[in-house]
Amino acid sequence: MAKTKPGAPPPSALNIPKETLSPGLLHGERIPDEEKRDHALRPHSLKEFLGQAAMKENLTVFIKAARSRQESLDHLFLIGPPGLGKTTLAQVIAHELETEIVQTSAPALDKPKDLVGILTNLKERNVFFIDEIHRLKPAIEEMLYIAMEDYEMDWVIGQGPGARTLRIPIKPFTLIGATTKAGNVGSPLVSRFGIPCRFSFYEKADMEAIVRRSAGILETKIDDTAASLLAASARGTPRVANRLLRRMRDFAQVSGAPSITRPVVEDALMRLEIDHLGLEKQDREILAMIIKRYNGGPVGAETLAISMGEGVDTLEDYYEPYLIQAGLLQRTPRGRMATALAYEHLKIPGGIVQGNENSGLLF
């Protein structure tokens, strides 16, 4: 590894303001607000991490090999829709490596000094997790992939003719980048990741196991048939399953039921306007909009988002992946199209919307 040039100040002398770092994340003192709700339900080891079997098997081998050689694990690229466990897996990997994890998100890395401040504070073999890595600024992205490959960073001191570049060594670390939009990450950065991990929606059996595990942690009884229905209605997404489980617990408690039963789940899903495929009201309205206003499609994502009053990112990241997975929506070069299954699910014959667009709440 290259050493700092003679006479160059050590990293600690670069006067990088502490406020540019991610407060509370460097030493695990604080968890972002959006993560606190599910923190108690998250697994802490690969054994507890349910689903994604092939990915887990490979990671077990890579982690064991890295630990036996006492080396940092190769950099990981986690790809998949929201809620499938990318952040959780990063934390599990750090636990399995018996090392610390530093967490941040790409929008928080506003200036190069933010990244320098974090990387120079990493200990050897630490895990550095960046969520939404596709949102990194180009200058920071370039600095990051050099650090990933060479374990050193270039830092410019001064301005104009008197400016000089310092080569700052950093300790070997493992970067874990998570994204819902892999295509938006620059190819030079992608090529530095040695372990790509692509998440898929969870199988029903895995979802049922997740529901039962979470119910046990919440000290809530749930019948097998209720767990099965809840798992089928959770969009193949653990985050959704845990959110629904907490709502089922609320309905069961207020109704005086001693446990979460299938009738409780059926009634609660009806109240929440979630059908047996896991489609919410907005999902059905998106499909109905394509069929009713655009004759089944094709329609562009921006046009559809404006029609629905949603952001394009929300449409593409949250709604579309599951609708496509469920076979209700197609992406074509010309735009989005509703499938025959969408007509059938909404009970719309011949492409003409009839009756209540929210029909389909059948169990």
Q: Is residue 122 a contact partner of residue 78, using CB atoms and an 8 Å limit? A: no
Asked if 99 is an active-site residue, the reply is: no
Catalytic residue among 20, 87, 88, 261: 87
**Active-site annotation holds for 69:** no
Catalytic residue list contains 225: no
Active-site entry in 88, 180, 237, 261: 180
Question: Could you confirm whether 213 is annotated as catalytic?
Answer: no
Q: How far apart are CA 336 and CA 329, in angstroms?
A: 7
For residues 266 and 276, what is the distance between their CA atoms, to the nearest angstrom? 9
The encoded tokens of residue 288 equal 């109905």
Task: Tell me whether residue 3 is one of the annotated catalytic residues.
Answer: no
Find all residues with CB under 8 Å of 269, minimum gap 6, and list them: 229, 233, 244, 275, 276, 361, 363
Instruction: Please state, in angstroms and rounded to a whole number, the distance separating the CA atoms of residues 225 and 220.
Output: 15
Q: Write out the H or E segment, with its range, that includes residue 308.
A: helix 301-308
Q: Which of 38, 131, 206, 283 is catalytic?
A: 131
Which among 270, 283, 363, 273 has a CA at the least distance from the CA of 323?
A: 283
Strands 335-338, 329-332: pairing is antiparallel
Tell me how far apart the alpha carbons of residues 256 and 252 are, in angstroms, rounded to a whole number. Answer: 6
Which residue is catalytic, options 42, 86, 284, 336?
86
Catalytic residues: 86-87, 131, 180, 239
